[in-house]
């Protein structure tokens, strides 16, 4: 991929994000002139960038959006929901093109066809002679990227009924008409590929008198379209994680450190020559110690500077949620606004990139389960429009993220009942749990209190995935709730995953590293305290049965079977607690992990590697893999 395309992709994504933010803000304040101007500039700049890389179809698409926004600026077109939908759909298409170019390095071959479809929809708004009618028509034609609109679903259901009608009068013509109407509905909703597939199926199936196949295809299409994840800017994971924009000041710091390290290297060379010349050992020892302290300071500064190069503002992850919330609330029929605070808080890029999925699960659950319907809120004296807060802050070496809603709160009685029903724990244990412990039951694998499955949630997955995702980065998840007032889910994550504190242990004659944040404690037990349970072993720690893993044996070496005592490291990861028996405990180290490669690449149970002071490779274990 040439440098012009790379720069185009970086700037293109930034402009798509800027334009989307402006359009969503205009829904709250349609008359905000600064936002209108900013959205117009985003479209205009994107169009110019597309021209530089000869992406004519994208330029034409953006020009159509630019014309509408220009009319909004002039006051001849109102910034209505229909206009917002069209402009967002335009940016979705641009985002999809950018993703494709990221993969291939070339302009998509079918871009002109898709561009023509977008331009055609915009023409309905820019035709000022029928402007009032056009806005309503444009709203019906704007693609709904999360689900079918209720009228469209009713229309498609009607075509299915026609296809299932086997009456003899005009049967073939009736079937053909139903298939074409269904395809046109999908095409006008922006699902062009699905419409084409349906028409091709209809040609063969109806000629053979098999209307059932076409009816089933329409039903499957409705299900897949409704259950599909949001596309484009709203939901697709960005493909530009390979690039970072770095403040030049941070580069200057690295350049300065490189110079100081060169001086330190020369000083060490001088001391090496003094040692060779048999200089006074006491004097040499003092000089070496001083130089070591100087080098240690420089290396620490270098580590911090390298970590700073990898940080991104959480805005990178947060900016996708206003659009998603807008679409979800429309589908659910629950008016809600998303308030974002602390989006400028920085964290390691790998942490930021991994946040989208757990945040999506929590926000989705807040909207679907946590918030009451508008009429219920009114009866409770709550504002008709609910509020979900997404906030972030830096606390020492950690990042704290909160998702707080003003909904009904957790139904702890229902949670306890479902936990007993699912066999999460004995009834007496669950009833004796504190409110905090009972609230944490929602993170149990497969736990759900949903009475039915919806397109957004209630499929028995979600909150356990949240906890697993956050703990994979050494973080923690907690939940608190106030009946009738709302629920708060809190993520606590390390600022960076590059610098990790580990404890070394020896097992089967090898040294391994265990992440310190996963270690609960270390204990020594008499071997008779370890009891066999089937083919496994366990021990009791403060009235709790803890499964025991012989680390050496688990790693393919010789297990520990001798000695009067067992050295055990008690660890917790992924919601599970367990003990690892090791030969002996080692040191605590601050290390910079690198992803496993070569022979270690793809091997489960390895979190990363680093070099020890004596030159040996230290393998740091992924404890979730051992405990699951």
pLDDT tens-place string over residues 84-131 = 888 998 998 998 899 888 888 888 888 898 888 888 888 766 554 334
The predicted structure's pLDDT at residue 230: 38
Task: Give whole-number Cα distances, 139 to 84, 121, 624, in Å.
Answer: 9, 10, 48
Predicted pLDDT at 389:
96
Give the pLDDT score at 258. Answer: 83
How far is it, in rounded angstroms, from Cα 196 to Cα 215? 15
The per-residue pLDDT for 231 is: 39
Q: Are 124 and 134 in contact (CB under 8 A)?
A: yes
Does the pTM surpass 0.85? The reply is no
Tokens of 30: 């349609």
Low-confidence residues in the chain, pLDDT < 50: 128-147, 227-240, 458-461
* The pLDDT value given to residue 574: 67
489 forms beta bridges with 403, 479
Element holding 26 (H helix, E strand): helix 3-28
Q: Give exposure, 199-237, as e/b (b: 16+ Cβ within 10 Å).
A: bebbeebbeeeebeebbbbbeebbeebeeeebbbbbbee
What is the per-residue pLDDT for 330? 79
The encoded tokens of residue 456 equal 């957004």
Of 108, 94, 101, the C-alpha closest to 65 is 94
Tokens of 107: 């302009």
pLDDT, position 570: 93
Give yes or no for a contact between 234 and 356, defined as CB atoms under 8 angstroms apart: no
Name beta bridge partners: 313: 346
Tell me the C-alpha distance between 94 and 53, whole Å.
14
As to burial, measured by CB atoms within 10 angstroms (0-12 exposed, 13-18 middle, 19+ buried), residue 254 is middle
Residue 126: the pLDDT is 57
Question: How high is the pLDDT of residue 239?
Answer: 42
607 near 515, Cβ under 8 Å? Answer: yes
Residue linked to tokens 């444009």: 138
What is the total residue count of the chain? 628
Strand 386-395 versus strand 336-341 pairing type: parallel
Are 332 and 367 a contacting pair, CB within 8 Å? yes
Query: Are 563 and 556 contacting, i.e. CB atoms less than 8 angstroms apart?
Result: no
Instruction: Give the N- to C-terminal CA distance of the chain in Å, as an integer.
Output: 41
């Amino acid at each position: 991929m040439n440098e012009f395309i790379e720069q185009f992709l970086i700037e293109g994504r930034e402009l798509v994000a800027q334009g989307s933010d402006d359009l969503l803000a205009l829904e709250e304040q349609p008359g905000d002139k600064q936002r209108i101007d900013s959205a117009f500039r985003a479209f205009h700049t994107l169009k110019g960038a597309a021209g530089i890389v000869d992406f004519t179809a994208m330029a034409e698409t953006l020009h159509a959006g630019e014309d509408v926004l220009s009319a909004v600026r002039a006051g001849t077109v109102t910034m209505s929901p229909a206009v917002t939908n069209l402009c967002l759909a335009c940016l979705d298409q641009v985002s999809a093109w950018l993703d494709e170019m990221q993969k291939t390095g070339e302009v998509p071959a079918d871009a002109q066809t898709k561009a023509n479809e977008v331009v055609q929809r915009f023409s309905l708004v820019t035709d000022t002679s029928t402007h009032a009618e056009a806005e309503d028509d444009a709203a019906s034609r704007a693609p709904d990227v999360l689900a079918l609109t209720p009228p469209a679903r009713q229309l498609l259901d009607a075509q299915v009924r026609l296809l299932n009608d086997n009456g003899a009068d005009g049967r073939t013509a009736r079937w053909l008409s139903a298939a074409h109407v269904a395809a046109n509905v999908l095409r006008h909703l922006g699902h062009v590929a699905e419409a084409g597939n349906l028409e091709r199926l209809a040609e063969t199936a109806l000629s053979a008198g098999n209307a059932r196949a076409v009816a089933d295809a329409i039903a499957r299409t409705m299900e897949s379209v409704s259950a599909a994840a949001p596309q484009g800017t709203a939901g697709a994971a960005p493909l530009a994680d390979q690039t970072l924009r770095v403040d030049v000041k941070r580069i200057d710091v690295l350049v300065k450190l490189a110079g100081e390290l060169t001086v330190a290297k020369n000083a060490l060379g001088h001391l090496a020559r003094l040692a060779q010349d048999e200089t006074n050992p006491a004097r040499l020892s003092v000089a070496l110690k001083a130089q070591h302290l100087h080098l240690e300071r420089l290396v620490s500064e270098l580590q911090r500077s390298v970590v700073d190069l990898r940080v991104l503002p959480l805005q990178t992850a947060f900016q996708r949620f206003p659009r998603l919330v807008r679409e979800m609330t429309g589908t659910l029929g629950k008016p809600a606004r998303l308030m974002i605070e602390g989006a400028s808080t920085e964290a390691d890029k790998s942490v930021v990139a991994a946040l989208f999925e757990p945040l999506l699960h929590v926000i989705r659950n807040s909207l679907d389960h946590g918030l009451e319907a508008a009429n219920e809120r009114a009866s409770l004296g709550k504002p008709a429009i609910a509020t979900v807060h997404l906030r972030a802050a830096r606390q020492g070496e950690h990042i704290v993220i909160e998702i707080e809603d003003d909904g009904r709160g957790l139904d702890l009685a229902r949670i306890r009942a479902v936990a007993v029903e699912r066999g999460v724990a004995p009834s007496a244990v669950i009833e004796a749990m504190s409110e905090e412990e009972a609230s944490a039951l929602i993170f149990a694998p497969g736990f759900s209190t949903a009475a039915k499955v919806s397109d957004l949630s209630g499929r028995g997955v979600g909150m356990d995935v949240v906890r697993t995702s956050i703990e994979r980065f050494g973080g923690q998840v907690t939940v608190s709730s106030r009946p009738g007032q709302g629920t708060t889910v809190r993520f606590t994550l390390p600022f960076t995953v590059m610098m990790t504190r580990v404890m070394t242990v020896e097992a089967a004659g090898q040294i391994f590293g265990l992440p310190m944040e996963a270690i609960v404690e270390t204990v020594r037990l008499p071997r008779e305290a370890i009891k066999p349970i089937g083919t496994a072993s366990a021990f009791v720690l403060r009235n709790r049965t803890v499964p025991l893993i012989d680390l050496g044996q688990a790693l393919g070496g010789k297990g520990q079977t001798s000695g009067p005592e067992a050295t055990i490291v008690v660890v917790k990861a992924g919601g599970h607690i367990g003990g690892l028996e090791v030969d002996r405990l080692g040191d605590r180290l601050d290390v910079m992990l690198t992803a496993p490669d070569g022979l270690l690449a793809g091997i489960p149970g390895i979190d990363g590697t680093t070099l020890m002071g004596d030159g040996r490779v230290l393998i740091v274990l992924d404890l979730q893999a051992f405990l699951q």
